[in-house]
């Protein structure tokens, strides 16, 4: 059942859908002005909107049936993702007309698949249309990020909002998080007989907590000590020299992750451009090792999923997203999806972990207008 088919019956002025994402490679590089390579999931969040006569906005969740109505006051909880978009559009000088909104989603929550960016970007698209505002897609990710940073209070980078807004079906989005320059990189797994298997580890995932903020702070402190604007300005050729200037061993490891991860994104893009899809596997695994050993953001469940996938023939595997739980991506032969998924499930059971979810994904379309046929 698609998210849009779960919207309550009725007349809407407009309906928009924005997807969740997985990040093929480039983790914790976005807030360092670096490179990322996400693609959109087939799972999306749909926001339907209708103008209303009385002032204010309401948002109703299809999932819980709850309606939150707000005016100027600060909203907390899930509705903050929508209220934050109203706030940021008004901050940017757009007049947002009073409206009732309905939200339905099939993006798994709290799994590191960007359910928050999906609701933000769909709400933004619906409200921009109601407002009749001229706000090009390219400018929307920064605004949605600002809503998440300043209204919701999560110190994230721009990757998730950019992925949810700008991704194209059949492509990964090569994004320079400093300039926001993009390249749609063809990523046709089926043609190569490959698949990306997602393992949702079901380990609790919450990057609003201190660990994400601490990683970000450590990177910003390191950039200051090195005299650069952001760690993006250190490349692998200059890495040893940069590390030699830092006294703190933990900070050195954080810097090494970010600098080598940026290079792995560039190497992955080069591999995809030359059609060497299988070569991406070793870069994914190196990325995971760097997140595990240097950035220290993995947990036993995701490390187990990666190890078992590799033992059962995956070309590469890595955690995707902010970390401390969430999902693992494994690059596998299409025919091996079932056996790799079964091996991971067995290993989770043997370790006493909650059963994971496993599913195969292909790169889907970013934010799109939906025509309801009913």
* Residues identified as active-site: 160
The stretch among 26-34, 76-84, 125-133, 309-317 that binds ligand GAF (CB under 6 A) is 26-34
81 labelled binding-site residue: no
Quick one: CA dihedral 87, 89, 94, 96, positive or negative? negative
Shortest CB 161 distance to ligand GAF, Å: 8
Query: Could you say whether residue 156 binds ligand GAF (CB under 6 A)?
Result: yes
Residue 30 is a binding residue for ligand GAF (CB under 6 A): yes
Name the segment binding ligand GAF (CB under 6 A); options: 23-31, 80-88, 272-280, 354-362: 23-31
Q: Residue 171, annotated ligand binder?
A: no
Of 323 and 347, the one with the shorter C-beta distance to ligand GAF is: 323
Pick out residues in 190-209 that bind ligand GAF (CB under 6 A). Answer: 207
135 in a known ligand binding site: no
Is residue 28 near ligand GAF by the rule CB under 6 A? Answer: yes
Find all residues with CB under 8 Å of 174, minimum gap 6, and list them.
35, 37, 182, 183, 184, 185, 265, 269
Q: Which region, judged by CB under 6 A, interacts with ligand GAF, from 27-35, 74-82, 286-294, 364-372?
A: 27-35
Q: At which residue do the structure tokens 């032969």 appear?
A: 333
Q: Report how far residue 61's alpha carbon sits from residue 77's, in angstroms, rounded to the nearest whole number.
A: 12
- Sorted by sequence, the CB contacts under 8 Å of residue 93 that are 6+ apart come out as none
19 binds ligand GAF (CB under 6 A): no
Question: Would you count residue 126 as binding ligand GAF (CB under 6 A)?
Answer: no
Counting every residue written for the chain, the total comes to 374
In the region spanning residues 206 to 225, those forming contacts with ligand GAF, defined by CB under 6 A, are: 207
Residue 214 CB partners (closer than 8 Å, separation 6+) = none
Smallest separation (angstroms) from ligand GAF to the CB of 16: 21
Would the annotation count 116 as a binding residue? Answer: yes
> Would you say 18 is a known binding-site residue?
no
Which residues of the chain form beta strands (DSSP E)?
Answer: 14-23, 35-36, 38-51, 57-61, 67-70, 99-105, 171-176, 182-186, 194-200, 316-320, 327-333, 357-361, 368-369
User: Is residue 81 within the footprint of ligand GAF (CB under 6 A)?
Assistant: no
CB 234 within 8 A of CB 260: no
Q: What sections of 132-209 are H helices per DSSP?
A: 140-146, 159-166
Q: Is 159 in the site for ligand GAF (CB under 6 A)?
A: yes
The answer to whether residue 157 forms part of the interface with ligand GAF (CB under 6 A) is yes
Give yes or no for a contact between 169 and 301, defined as CB atoms under 8 angstroms apart. no
Q: How far is the CB of 322 from ligand GAF (least distance, A)?
A: 3
Distance, in Å, from the CA atom of 124 to the CA atom of 130, rounded to the nearest integer, reads: 10
Residue 195: other Cβ atoms inside 10 A: 20
Q: Does 294 bind ligand GAF (CB under 6 A)?
A: no
Q: Which of 27, 120, 262, 294 binds ligand GAF (CB under 6 A)?
A: 27
Closest contact distance (angstroms) between CB of 124 and ligand GAF is 16
Task: Give binding residues as ranges.
Answer: 27-30, 61, 110-116, 148, 212
Residues near ligand GAF, by CB under 6 A: 23, 27-28, 30-31, 156-157, 159-160, 207, 321-322
Task: Give binding residues for Mg(2+) as ranges.
Answer: 116, 148
């Amino acid at each position: 059942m698609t998210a849009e088919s779960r919207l309550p019956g009725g007349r809407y002025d407009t309906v928009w859908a924005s997807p969740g994402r997985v990040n093929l490679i480039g983790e914790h590089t976005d807030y360092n002005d670096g490179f990322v390579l996400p693609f959109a999931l087939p799972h999306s969040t749909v926001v339907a909107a209708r103008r209303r006569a009385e002032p204010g906005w309401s948002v109703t969740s299809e999932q819980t049936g709850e309606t939150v109505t707000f005016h100027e006051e600060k909203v907390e909880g899930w509705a903050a993702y929508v209220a934050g978009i109203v706030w940021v559009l008004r901050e940017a000088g757009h007049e947002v007309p009073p409206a009732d909104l309905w939200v339905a989603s099939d993006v798994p929550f709290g799994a590191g698949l960007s359910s928050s960016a999906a609701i933000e970007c769909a709400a933004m698209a619906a409200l921009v249309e109601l407002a009749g505002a001229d706000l090009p897609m390219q400018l929307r990710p920064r605004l949605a990020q600002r809503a998440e940073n300043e209204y919701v209070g999560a110190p994230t980078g721009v990757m998730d909002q950019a992925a949810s807004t700008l991704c194209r079906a059949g492509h990964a989005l090569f994004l320079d998080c400093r300039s926001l320059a993009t390249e749609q990189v063809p990523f046709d797994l089926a043609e190569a007989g490959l698949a990306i298997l997602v393992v949702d580890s079901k380990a609790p995932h919450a990057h609003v907590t201190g660990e994400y903020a601490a990683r970000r702070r450590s990177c910003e402190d390191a950039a200051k000590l090195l005299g650069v604007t952001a760690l993006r300005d250190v490349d692998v050729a200059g890495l040893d020299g940069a590390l030699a200037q830092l006294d703190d061993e933990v900070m050195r490891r954080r810097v090494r992750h970010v600098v080598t991860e940026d290079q792995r994104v560039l190497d992955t893009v080069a591999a995809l451009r030359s059609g060497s899809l299988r070569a991406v596997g070793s870069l994914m695994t190196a990325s995971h090792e760097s997140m595990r050993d240097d950035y220290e953001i993995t947990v036993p469940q995701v490390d187990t999923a990666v190890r078992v996938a590799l033992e059962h023939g995956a070309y590469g595997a890595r955690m995707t997203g902010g970390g401390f739980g969430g999902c693992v991506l494994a690059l596998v032969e299409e025919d091996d999806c079932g056996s790799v998924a079964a091996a991971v499930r067995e290993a989770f059971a043997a370790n006493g972990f909650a059963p994971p979810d496993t599913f195969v994904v292909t790169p889907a379309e970013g934010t799109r207008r939906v025509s309801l046929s009913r």
